[in-house]
Amino acid sequence: MEVTATDRGFYGGGIKEPGDTFVLDDEDHFSKSWMVEGTEAKPRKRPKYTGYVASRGAAGKFVVKDAAGQMVGTFTGSKAEAESEAARLNDGGEINLGKEAQGNGLPDA
């Protein structure tokens, strides 16, 4: 049976990447979770990245953090502004590292 991988998987002694077409030794080896019959696989819908979240920072201000809990960029603001900024980043927006977001340009004490 000829199949195409729809997700990463292991078969026949090697890793199969999405889009790889290969022949199964036995039809019982077919897995609906990462294979489709034939040589054409529908493109897989990838989940939206949601690694950025609003988080309380110092002095009651909110910041944006990544999935590892590290502050991202130089944004600080209200909770609503931080949630809006996190949503913008999750939709593929660029991280703001500009001077205008750094206040007066002096280092923090």
How far apart, in whole angstroms, are the C-alpha atoms of residue 37 and residue 33?
12
- Chain position carrying tokens 């609503």: 80
**According to the model, what pLDDT value does residue 71 have?**
86
- Chain position carrying tokens 């004490």: 109
Per-residue model confidence as pLDDT tens for the chain (109 residues): 899 998 889 999 999 988 889 999 999 999 999 999 988 766 666 555 568 888 998 888 899 898 888 888 888 889 999 899 888 888 888 887 755 544 566 666 6
**According to the model, what pLDDT value does residue 101 have?**
45
Contacts of 34 (CB under 8 A, 6+ apart): 5, 6, 7, 8, 9, 16
pTM of the model: 0.44
